[in-house]
């Protein structure tokens, strides 16, 4: 059985408490092809996860892309890594993890990055028949981004019954006005399916989700639908002048 590393740090180990965070807002219709979710303590992001997993109807595979915030391990030259196959026992039940074929297997990353593990309780609770395919990314060049886009397309073609989740945040550095403007720029780029890297280079947006989203733009044609945004202590569906935090978190879907 695989170890869990982030209980009582980012999500509670107590079953009843965790179950409160996992009460879903169920939505009818088919599962989206791609969901963008933030990562952070469930105290701050559970509302987005409750909404997002309410759209997910037990797909066979859930491929989760998460960033490596630190450096790659010595000797790891690949921009992508996966975990070994096996089961993990969450307080809400087991989840099955499968290695992504062809990728470097590095279980050590599971101890460093919590974003993929954060999804385990939700999958155990609401998608018990789904397998998790984890992908840790370290995208340093346009070639890396293009490679990720090709990987997404390949995984889509291999199995129709697949949901893709990108776990990433957006960080605005500066005063409230600058952060709010960054949020507006990001909102416009996502809604218009516009390139992100030029805005990153000009420091109009930033964050660990940008490069993964740039890869997804090619692999998943069409517009993101922004469902919920959070900036600092403010939460809502519109960008607000009242935003007062450093991290702008987004829940968005592509059909």
Q: How does pLDDT run across 56-72, given as a tens digit for each residue?
A: 999 999 999 999 987 76
pLDDT > 60? residue 243: no
What pLDDT, in 10s, does the model give residues 204-224? 888 899 999 999 988 998 888
Mean pLDDT to the nearest integer, 176-194? 78
Q: Write down the pLDDT at residue 218.
A: 87
Mean pLDDT to the nearest integer, 188-209? 86
Q: Write down the pLDDT at residue 173.
A: 58
pLDDT band for 241, please (50, 70, 90 cuts): very low
Q: Write down the pLDDT at residue 227.
A: 87
Mean pLDDT to the nearest integer, 239-243? 48
Structural contact between residues 220 and 33, judged by C-beta atoms closer than 8 angstroms: yes
pLDDT > 70? residue 193: yes
Q: Write down the pLDDT at residue 176.
A: 66
Q: Write down the pLDDT at residue 247.
A: 62
Rounded CA-CA distance 8/26 in Å is 26
Domain boundaries, the chain: 30-249
Rounded CA-CA distance 134/100 in Å is 7
Q: Which two tokens stand for residue 79?
A: 């921009």
In percent, how much of the chain has pLDDT > 70? Answer: 89
DSSP 206: -
Q: Write down the pLDDT at residue 91.
A: 97
- pTM for the full model? 0.91
Query: C-alpha 110: how far from its chain's center?
Result: 15
Assign 3-state DSSP to the chain and report helix, strand, coil percentages, each to 5: 30, 25, 45
Q: Write down the pLDDT at residue 134.
A: 98
pLDDT > 70? residue 172: no
| Class of the CATH domain delimited by 30-249 | alpha beta
């Amino acid at each position: 059985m695989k170890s869990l590393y982030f209980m009582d740090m980012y999500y509670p180990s107590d079953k009843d408490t965790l179950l409160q965070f996992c009460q879903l807002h169920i939505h009818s219709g088919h599962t989206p092809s791609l969901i963008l979710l933030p990562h952070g303590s469930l105290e701050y992001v559970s509302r987005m996860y409750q909404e997002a997993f309410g759209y997910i109807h037990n797909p066979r595979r859930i491929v989760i892309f998460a960033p490596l915030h630190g450096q790659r391990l010595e000797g790891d030259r690949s921009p992508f890594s996966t975990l070994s196959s096996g089961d993990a026992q969450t307080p809400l039940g087991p989840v099955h993890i499968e290695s992504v074929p062809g990728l470097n297997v590095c279980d050590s990353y599971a101890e460093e990055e919590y974003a993929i593990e954060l999804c385990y309780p939700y999958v155990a609770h609401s998608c018990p028949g789904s397998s998790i395919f984890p992908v840790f990314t370290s995208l340093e060049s346009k070639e890396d981004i293009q490679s990720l886009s090709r990987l997404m397309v390949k995984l889509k073609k291999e199995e129709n019954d697949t949901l893709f989740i990108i776990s990433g945040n957006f960080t605005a550095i500066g005063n409230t006005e600058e952060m709010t403007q960054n949020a507006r720029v990001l909102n416009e780029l996502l809604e218009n399916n516009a390139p992100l890297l030029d805005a990153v280079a000009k420091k109009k947006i930033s964050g660990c989700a940008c490069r993964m989203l740039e890869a997804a733009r090619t692999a998943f044609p069409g517009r993101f639908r922004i469902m919920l945004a959070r900036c600092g202590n403010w939460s809502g569906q519109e960008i607000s002048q009242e935003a007062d935090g450093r991290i702008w978190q987004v829940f968005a879907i592509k059909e």
